[in-house]
Structure 1
Amino acid sequence: MKRRLNILCAIVLLVMGWSVGVSLYYMGLGMTKGVQMGMDAAREMMEEGNSVKLDEVSNMQAVSLFPKFLGEWERELFTDSIRNEKTGRYVPMAYSNLMVSVPVETPAWQKVASSVMGFLVLVANVWALVLFIRIVVSVNRSDIFNWRNVRRLRRLGILLIVGFVCVLLSEYMALCNLREAFALEAYDLALPDSVKVTNLLLGLISLIVAEVFAIGLKMKEEQDLTI
């Protein structure tokens, strides 16, 4: 039974490591491409004597879209078309994500708040990973049902929920600012994929498991007192 639990814990760690690794890879790739595009735009600006391309690069925004209800099923889901290279014909489609160059006014307090929340998300994720590893080590030592693990599970749940709330607030503020400067006829702007309800669900499950452990420990203590 312990071997099976160790395998499941190892799979969870691998999935978490893969998720973090993919996020870091795309973050690094985006930063690298952004720096490269900025350098190219700056070079062209110096050569041509204008700042249009530099402004276009600095104002790039990632936009998540959701088709509006337009009265007809086909128009609701397929508001655009794209060429199928296999057949040479245009097929209906709808966008879900875009990269656009739009100047967005962000107040200074929102920039500070977003930076603080980003730091909190990083700390919460690292701390949650450390707590999960400690729980796994405790399980391997056959020291499972104790108040230390109850506290760890509670902290793990709170950290996951805090991370979700910070990401949600940061992305919602960015979405509100973007809606002030950008709109499309056939689409609504939506929250990006970085806002994952999975973290909230895992946090709630962790709190529930912690309370189950706590109830079991209290019952055990009461039985020991009666004996």
Structure 2
Amino acid sequence: MKKQLNLICVLIFFFVGLSLVPSIYSMSNAFMDGFEVGMSQVEDVHGQETTNISAEILTPMTLSLWPKSLAVTSDKLFNHKDQEWYPASHIQTVVWAKSKDTVITRYASFLVLIGIFFIIKAIVQFYKLINAINHEVIFDWMNVRRLNRIGRNLLISFMLSQAYMITNYWEATRLFELEGYEHNFWCDFQPMTLIMGLIALLVGRIFAIGLQMKEEQDLTI
């Protein structure tokens, strides 16, 4: 039984870590690319008025789009394999907006980093829970608290990431209006951490009810 439990835990750790790779990869790439582009832009405007520098620097912003009509495409893509153009529609696009217009989104991006921190905290609590179960400490109030911490950390991470998505969506709708497209918030909605957090809280509540029933039975004996 312990081998099966440990195998399942290894798989959970592996796939949770794998799920974080796209976010970490995209954030690190965006940071490096933004830093390089920002430095080059600062060098280009070097010698100009300092009041004009911030207006010239560009910041990447993600647009979550949905075509107003799937029957009509307003864009095309060139296929190098057959050297032909194909009609296409963009669902998610990165645009470079003026930094002075994206101040809120740039600061809100730190919420994603904080959210990853809370996911790591949840993973640590999960490791402690599995370690306790391996030592045959299962129905214990400490495990209930660990499950509650896992659930809270995952819910906080979900709220932080969604706060960033809402901020990005709001600024995107404020700055851009594209022909043939409308902004779509639900493309960025990722409920997995919400679901896992609620499941952890549910299991913790079940453990708590079981412990309360056990304590009541012990008192009646």
TM-score by length of 1: 0.81
- In the alignment, structure 1 residue 172 sits paired with structure 2 residue 169: no
Alpha-carbon distance between aligned partners in 1 of 2:18 and 2:76, rounded to the nearest angstrom: 35
Alpha-carbon distance between aligned partners in 1 of 2:67 and 2:23, rounded to the nearest angstrom: 27
Deviates more, 1:98-107 or 1:24-33: 98-107
How far did 1:3 drift?
0.8
Residue matched to 1:40:
40
What is the Cα-based RMSD across aligned positions, in Å?
3.0
Residue matched to 1:216:
210
Whether the 8 Å contact between 1:167 and 1:194 is mirrored in structure 2 is: no
5+ residue gaps, structure 1: none
Alignment of 1:1-227 (within 5 A): 1-46=1-46, 57-68=57-68, 70=69, 73-75=70-72, 78-103=73-98, 105=101, 114=108, 117-118=111-112, 120-191=114-185, 195-227=189-221
Provide closer, same or farther for how the CA distance between residues 57 and 192 of structure 1 changes in structure 2, counting only shifts above 3 A: farther
TM-score by length of 2: 0.83
Letter of the 1:65 partner, please give it.
L
Whether the 8 Å contact between 1:38 and 1:54 is mirrored in structure 2 is: no
Alpha-carbon distance between aligned partners in 2 of 1:43 and 1:116, rounded to the nearest angstrom: 26
Provide closer, same or farther for how the CA distance between residues 119 and 60 of structure 1 changes in structure 2, counting only shifts above 3 A: closer
Alpha-carbon distance between aligned partners in 1 of 2:77 and 2:21, rounded to the nearest angstrom: 33
Alignment length (residue pairs) = 219
Identity percentage of aligned residues: 30
How far did 1:193 drift?
6.2
Letter of the 1:80 partner, please give it.
D
5+ residue gaps, structure 2: none
Alpha-carbon distance between aligned partners in 1 of 2:22 and 2:60, rounded to the nearest angstrom: 22
Whether the 8 Å contact between 2:129 and 2:146 is mirrored in structure 1 is: yes
3-state SS of paired residue (1:87): coil
Letter of the 2:115 partner, please give it.
V
3-state SS of paired residue (2:101): coil
